[in-house]
Amino acid sequence: MKNILLISVPGAGKGVVSNYLIDKYNFTHLSAGDLIRDEIKNNPDLAEIVSQGKLIDDSIINGLIDKFVSKNSDKNLIFDGFPRTMSQVPAFEEILKKNNISIDKLVHINIDKEVAIKRITGRVMCEDCNHIFNKYIDNLTDTCPDCSGKLYSRSDDNLETYNNRYDLYINETYPVFEHYKDILSTFEIENNAGINEVYDQVDRMMKEEI
Ligand SMILES: [Zn+2]
């Protein structure tokens, strides 16, 4: 298998699945979010647009993706966060065609909304050692179990932000999944249990390919 399109609700564990594919199966992560954040850092005009709360134009995002794919078309890619909307699908198809690559597997992570909310809103970081925990899953108070530092949560890891991101996903990104699941070979990962079950499922998916 060469290229994967990864789609799932926020908090489903795309990071966990991606990191496992990168470490064990030599994939390269195309994270649209990371590419956009890097570009904002280096482009004051774009930073200004974002600070005004405006959306970044699709043409800029398409350009960033195109540049990354052109540079990495010989690698095994995980497309994560692009296409995020149906309006980005034609550009996505164009980029694949231009670079003479295709998507071999659509990967969708299933998670109950309640579980995803617990994962996101329970996420805490240590002020001192920067380790990340989950206060529900790891059963913590506000002290780091590693170094006794103070734990804090990111300001955007709250229920309201999560619900907004979830609604955005249902309205804009889920149609992209619906579109591709009829065209592409699809693999569903269940992620309501633990991390080892997720790894087992990824291994099974990779084995099916050989
Ligand atoms: Zn700590």
| % residues pLDDT > 70 (the chain) | 100
Region 119-148: mean pLDDT is 90
Q: What is the distance in A from the centroid of ligand 1 to the CA of 158?
A: 22
Whole-model pTM: value is: 0.88
Q: What is the distance in A from the centroid of ligand 1 to the CA of 206?
A: 36
| % residues pLDDT > 90 (the chain) | 73
At which residue do the structure tokens 């998670």 appear?
111
Distance CA(184)–CA(94), nearest Å, equals: 17
Q: What is the distance in A from the centroid of ligand 1 to the CA of 15?
A: 22
**pLDDT computed for residue 193 by the predictor:** 79
Q: What is the distance in A from the centroid of ligand 1 to the CA of 123?
A: 14
Query: Tens digits of per-residue pLDDT, 31-71?
Result: 999 999 999 999 998 888 888 888 889 999 999 999 999 99
Q: What is the distance in A from the centroid of ligand 1 to the CA of 141?
A: 13
pLDDT at 195 over 60: yes
Q: What is the distance in A from the centroid of ligand 1 to the CA of 153?
A: 13
Query: Could you give the strand order of the β-sheet that contains 151-152, starting from the edge strand earlier in sequence?
Result: 132-134, 123-126, 151-152
**pLDDT computed for residue 155 by the predictor:** 79
pLDDT at 210 over 60: no
Q: What is the distance in A from the centroid of ligand 1 to the CA of 144?
A: 5
| Architecture of the domain whose range is 4-112+168-209 | 3-Layer(aba) Sandwich (3.40)
**pLDDT computed for residue 14 by the predictor:** 92
Domain boundaries, the chain: 4-112+168-209
Distance CA(80)–CA(107), nearest Å, equals: 10
Q: What value does the mean pLDDT of the chain take?
A: 93
pLDDT at 133 over 60: yes
